Amino acid sequence: MAAGAGGDGGGELKLLGTWASPFVQRVRLALNLKGLAYEFIEEEIGGGKSELLLASNPVHKKVPVLLHRSNPICESQVIVQYLDDAFPGGAAGGDLLPSDPHARAVARFWAAYIDAEFFAPWNRSFYTASEEEKTAEMGRAAAALATIERAFAELSRGKGFFSGEDRPGFVDVVLGGFVGSMRAYGTAVGVEVLDAGRTPLLVAWAERVAALDAARGVIPDVERVVELSRYARKK
């Protein structure tokens, strides 16, 4: 069990998760960016699931789960959007989703695209034993990243983040949860996910995300992720 970031929240928020989960990391980024205090309750990686987790998420039985005044909210993207609804502005004075309805819809589209078109094949590439399948899945993930690179060029409007502002927004948080894993993937598998030759904008963006105060203690060290991933592949 560990304490989260300082700020508003009034002791109302608890987050069930693991340090290694990119989906937990995106929620922690969101909480920190909004300046919300929370209690981080760590689940055991690869072990039994706590009674609190099973009771809070009986459908999927997975982290992350946010408890707000003991009421559970599940699924990382849902949680991040909930934080904007429940804590408009937050202690840090900004929302993650834009106020304009069309801009909000665009952000949600790209967030869904990231999980479905990039993460899904990338994740499959790591766990498949077939080199042919691994190559095919990485090709799909790389194609999605090329599309996301073009989206960044349009959405950022010359700024440092997908939000088009000097501070991260919803899409930055969604993709930002993968920064630690993307960095570790090259070491563990020998294939760089983000490459300066193919996705220079995303490479620079990932550096900015990792340097955020909100990312401190959230995005894990490469070696720690690599060690865990090697253990998972052996299992």
CATH of residue 51's domain is 3.40.30.10
> Rounded distance, CA 32 to CA 92, Å?
9
Indicate if 80 and 179 belong to the same structural domain.
Answer: no
- Which of these three, 84, 117, 143, is where a domain ends? 84
Q: What is the residue-level pLDDT of the chain in tens, covering all 235 positions?
A: 444 544 565 579 999 999 999 999 999 999 999 999 999 999 999 889 999 999 999 999 999 999 999 999 999 999 999 999 999 987 776 899 999 999 999 999 999 999 999 999 999 988 888 999 989 999 999 999 999 999 999 999 999 999 999 999 999 999 999 999 999 988 877 778 999 999 999 999 999 999 999 999 999 999 998 888 776 666 5
- Cα distances from 192 to residues 48, 76, 138, in angstroms, run 33, 25, 10
Domain range for residue 122?
Answer: 99-231
Question: How many domains, in total, are found in the chain?
Answer: 2
